[in-house]
Amino acid sequence: MQTVLEFFITIAVVLVWALPFTQHSDSNCDAEAFLTSPGQQYTVTAERVYVNPKAGQHQVFGVFVLPKSIEQWSPALLTVDEIGVYCSRVQRYNGDYDGIVAPKGAVLMLDHVRTRTAIGLFLQGKLNRIRDRKTWHYTYKLPS
């Protein structure tokens, strides 16, 4: 009887411990509503991806090149294939980051996946998927 109780307690502890590694719903959004909204839609692939979750918060991100004409804070989607689709807002970065230089008329954009999500993917054996820059896509719209 005690072994069964210990088993259920162990399962409960593992589930409670693993809960923070899931992406919270505030990062998920109605992608369909965004994709069907007015405006010309563009999708770019990450120039580079940085994955170092053990270094702390905001250490799992992609670097994207966007046109300078895009308005700051306009809505966008960050998609990591087979991982998730997350709401985003365009935040311009400088014209260069760690050797990546935006061409004339463009800016760089850094967008993050939560560190706890990356750790959860590591535990699932999917960290190589998140390290592949070709799986990271940033979709934005320019006003028509």
Report the alpha-carbon angle 68-74-78, nearest 5: 95
For residue range 2-33, list pLDDT tens digits in order. Answer: 676 676 566 655 545 554 444 444 455 778 88
User: 52 vs 78, which has greater pLDDT?
Assistant: 78
User: 17 vs 59, which has greater pLDDT?
Assistant: 59
Q: Which domain holds residue 133?
A: 2-142
The helix/strand/coil state of 1 is coil
Question: Quick one: which of 131, 135, 93 has its CA closest to 111?
Answer: 93
Residue 32, phi then psi, degrees to nearest 5: -60, -45
Count the alpha carbons within 13 Å of 108 in the hemisphere toward its beta carbon: 19
Total structural domains within the chain: 1
pLDDT of residue 135: 94
User: 16 vs 142, which has greater pLDDT?
Assistant: 142
For residue range 84-110, list pLDDT tens digits in order. Answer: 888 888 987 778 899 999 999 999 999
Comparing 36-40, 51-55, 72-76, 137-141, the range with the smallest average pLDDT is 51-55
pLDDT grade, residue 54 (50/70/90)? low
Comparing 20-24, 78-82, 120-124, the range with the smallest average pLDDT is 20-24
Rounded Cα–Cα distance for residues 11 and 50 (Å): 33
pLDDT of residue 64: 96
